[in-house]
């Protein structure tokens, strides 16, 4: 691959990553996710870093988290349940799950 083409490919990947993060940040605010979660500290629920670390090796991590975001969860992270979020569309849940899995 020629340097210019490689450079453009890297720029496209970085740009899509930045767009994902921006979209996810907006959704985190709109869908009230930040009321219970933060990037790096446990609040009511686990931090996104903890979630990413727990599921990073799971082949179906994105689909699994998308489902948990929409349907809620009980007992995975302790006694406090995560209520379902019916205001999150399927594509929004995928965006959030993709983003959460990138947090380090």
What does the DSSP 8-state code read for residue 34? G
- Distance of alpha carbon 52 from alpha carbon 65, whole angstroms: 10
Identify which of 103, 81, 95, 102 has the alpha carbon closest to the alpha carbon of residue 31: 95
Q: Read out DSSP for 57-69?
A: T-TTHHHHHHHHH
Sequential pLDDT tens for the chain (104 residues): 454 444 434 344 444 567 788 888 899 999 999 999 999 999 999 999 999 999 999 999 999 999 999 999 999 999 999 999 999 999 999 999 999 999 99
Strand stretches in the chain, DSSP E: none
pTM score of the predicted model: 0.81
Residues pairing with 73 in the sheet: 82
Identify which of 101, 37, 16 has the alpha carbon closest to the alpha carbon of residue 66: 101
């Amino acid at each position: 691959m020629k340097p210019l083409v490689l450079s453009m490919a890297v720029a496209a990947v970085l740009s899509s990553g930045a767009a994902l993060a921006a979209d996810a940040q907006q959704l985190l605010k709109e869908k009230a996710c930040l009321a219970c979660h933060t990037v790096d500290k446990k609040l009511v629920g686990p931090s996104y870093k903890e979630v990413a670390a727990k599921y990073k090796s799971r082949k179906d991590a994105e689909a699994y988290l998308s489902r948990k975001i929409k349907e809620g969860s009980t007992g995975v992270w302790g006694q406090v349940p995560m209520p379902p979020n019916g205001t999150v569309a399927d594509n929004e849940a995928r965006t959030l799950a993709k983003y959460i899995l990138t947090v380090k």
